[in-house]
Structure 1
Amino acid sequence: MARVLGRVRQSRTQDDSISENVQRDAIQRWADSEGHEVVGWAVDLNTSGTKDPFQTESLGPWLNKRADEFDILACYKMDRLSRVTVNAFKLLQWSKENGKAIKAVEDKFDPSSREGELIFFIVAWLAEGELSAIQQRAKDTFTRMVADGRYRGGHQPYGYRTVKAEKGWRFEVDPETAETIRRITSEVTSGVSNSEVCRRLNAEGVPTPRDADRVRAGKAPKGYKWTAATLGPLLRSKGLMGVTTVNADGERVEVRGSDGVPVQFADPILSRAEFGQLQTALDSRTFTRARNRVDASPMLHVAYCACGSPMFYLEVKRYSGEGENRYYRCGARSADDGCPLGYGNARRADEIEELVTQSFLDAIGHLPMLRRVFVPGEDNAQELEKVREALEWHVTALQPGGVLSHPSTRDKASEALRELQGRYDELSGKPSIPDRWVSEETGETYREFWERSGWADRRQLLLEFGFKAVLFEQSHVRMMQPADFVARAKATEWTAEELAARSETEAAIMREWLTWREGGPVRLMSDEAIARIVGKTA
């Protein structure tokens, strides 16, 4: 009676005809019929036949460290050991050197004989050729599915869902998660930090992409949390525009069809213009990390000294040991030269915060609070942009040395170029209504929102409207609010031009109250101080 080690391997593409149970049963029947004992199983599932048997998770330790515990290595068929000729030869040599027998219970030959050894290598060679054919078919299928924009299996991008199509499965926009994407985009482009966006989503119980996948699969959510680390890649994904991408040297690039137009796997959630605006907002944060702090000072980028320096926030323990006193003081005080205006005294935080609260709510507290909502346009702007990009790509590709410059492809590419030009002319002549952001009421006033919110949310609201508090000596505080402050609070629709003009408007209003008279000489804020304060509003 010999000791048998049963070898079971199943690749990801294998079917049920040689499933784990089928292989186990065949090996066990053979061992029983020969009077042998199965002393162990080396089972490697989801393991490619190209992997070296000595490196596999289960069989590897038996071959490398436990060879003295078995006499026969038994498998269902020889391709369960390896589909690579070199690896098969390596395993056969090892079996000879270590006095082990190899048995494929469904193959009718004995690898220990010279004839069987020859057949063993022929079988391994054929298995390797079959594997190459399988890999090529899989690659061809993948290429076709990419070109058609079809669902290829695996993870579903957030904001989309799969639906049965005439051929396989396709993506369509998922209304619920797509609305979350648009909401996040609105907040981020309005100046809300990624960390703050995550805090709000978690507070409202909005499912994360992982939980959304579980719910879609009929499973209970696990309560995963939104984090800035996971939100960032989601907002960087070109899939938000509905375009198919592939990995190229570590970077996701758009897949283009034979006509040079990016392949769409579904309708876009964000237009190219909105996606570009989102990327600009994200890029700007590389240099303004202070805004992204969840525990930031309540008046960060809101309260400034008249010298132009931001006010630092201080918490000092009381002498009694119970509680803390909170203050703001000029941030330049810690520098060697101190505050240029000599304003070194700390100001009580509650007094400044109360003044900001009163000024803000007096102006718009009674108004209904609005939030920005994305409204898709009824136009051909996105298609026109894609055709324009395809035209540019074809022109470049047809240049000498370009990918379409060879005579075998040039005629066909030139014809495609003419068709694209005709399509571009056709689209250019059609009227269009661009995508836009409009405002809708949230169901509460600004005062109600303010009173139920903490300073993190209040600060984001102040930043959105460009509200500033500038502190002078003798505890005098002057509030700066843009001229269009109330108008923006009542706005029903904002254009890109209006949003871009905000910083210029705020700078002009800042200069309207440059002078401050308090029974003494006129004090003027320097242009440098103004620039430092206004520069933080963008």
Structure 2
Amino acid sequence: MKKVTRSRQRPHTTDTLWRETDLALLKELMTAEASLPSDAPRALLSVRLSTLTAETTSPVRQELDLRRLAREQGYRVVGVASDLNVSATRVPPWRRRELGHWLNDRVPEFDVLLFWKLDRLVRRLTDLSTMIEWCHRHGKNLVSKHDAIDLSSPVGKVMTEIIGGIAEIETAAISTRVSSLWDYTRTQSDWLVGKPPYGYTIDDRGVLVIDPQEERVLRWCLGAALRGVSARRMTTVLIRAGVPTGGGGQWTASTLLRRLRNPALMGFRVSESKSGGARRSETVLGVDGNPIRVADPIVTEAEWLSLQAALGERAKSQPTRRKRGATEFLGVLVCADCGTHMTAHRSRGKVRTYEYLRCRRCPSGGLGAPDPESVYSRLTDEIVNALGSEPVRVREYALGTDSLDRRRTVEMAIAHYMTGLEPGGRYARTSFTRQQAEQSLGKLITELERLDPKTSEDRWLQTSSGGTFRERWDREDRETMAGDLRRAGITCSVSRHKVPGVRAPHVGLKLIIPADAKERLVIKRDAFTGESS
């Protein structure tokens, strides 16, 4: 029998969007749902919007319509996955915050996924095909409020793929219109659409003009860069001074460098280029072959060239980046004093390059931990000694069997024989009928004992891969080990203590293993990509 959660449900969308009439209808629908039998199919409602405006279908309307559909179909609503301000084109269902959590970790808790319209679920045919395949593997169904979609029938599956193809064509048409608009605006000297670059703003007439405050920030950064000040030092000063970034969030060295390298500082129109994996802005040329000017310049061409030369010269003096980042156990090594992550830093001296671990909040990064490789090796040895003998277990999804129906049949037969064996019953009249009935009753009781009620439910199983984590870590690299440790919530506290007469501090390591670490070490395979996590 399926487990039913009786916890009180509440509106899952933004509370301010619910009116009194909506809440009254919600209460009515939930009251009707309470009268459903305990084994009614369980429904998960999916609510999604790209942007919430007055013209869009509100999430409240979507949820109420889906609850009406669930009542009509006899489904019990077990949850609502509400993902607002999420693009279905960019983010597939299994990557969304709420719906993705249900699809990846709470699969046994529902039987059917309800959505308002197909474009509320997916906008790419490949994503729809992936969802259909996932539903078949996990014994789930897709049902739409406004489309003829129901995977329980062959016709419904075909209609799902046809509607999905139409939705993808519509998405491609929208993308083409947007791209054409951007292509047109790039050739115009007027600012028609888009967010202005840092240092500029749009006035009441829709004209791109210089923002005085942001101009002062850029002019200060120009002077600092020409004096040899690093971008990291400049960001520290800007953060301490409380200077707004102009786009939310906090200042970072990469964000500042991107703005200082932007030709838009000279008042030119630019477009983004991602050649070589780096985000850079390039000047857009007009039909005459010259840059298109859209505003007054913040810096002159000579100043911009001097700035690029200064930034380029400082970039040459920086150590080359490692392919997987400077810190091998990022997120595992934490400072014992301030609790922030330890990160690896390298500085190049006149003779050689120095590498050390430091934290974020301690003054000057704390005492530092020289020779990160020795710290990694010590951590690896301690982890292998503590957890290397643990067997590698993988989480697998198991569909329920038909034993539930057989169990009900056996229980009914047992009740039948027990009633007949009571005094005055049909099997208590002669010794022969009593003996035959008791034999049949014994067989049924034995069969009932063998029927495990747990096998009738969809559930997660943990299977062994036949090896230990020591063998897994010997076979793979440190990044695999670090991923396992992060998944299990295992951290290593790094302490540094000054030793008299010795320049380098003493580095101590303390492994912190949560009580449930062994359960969290279980490998969970992504049902949509096949990757392990």
TM-score interval, normalised by the smaller of the two chains: 0.3 to 0.5
* Structure showing greater Rg: 1
Q: TM-score, normalised by structure 2?
A: 0.44
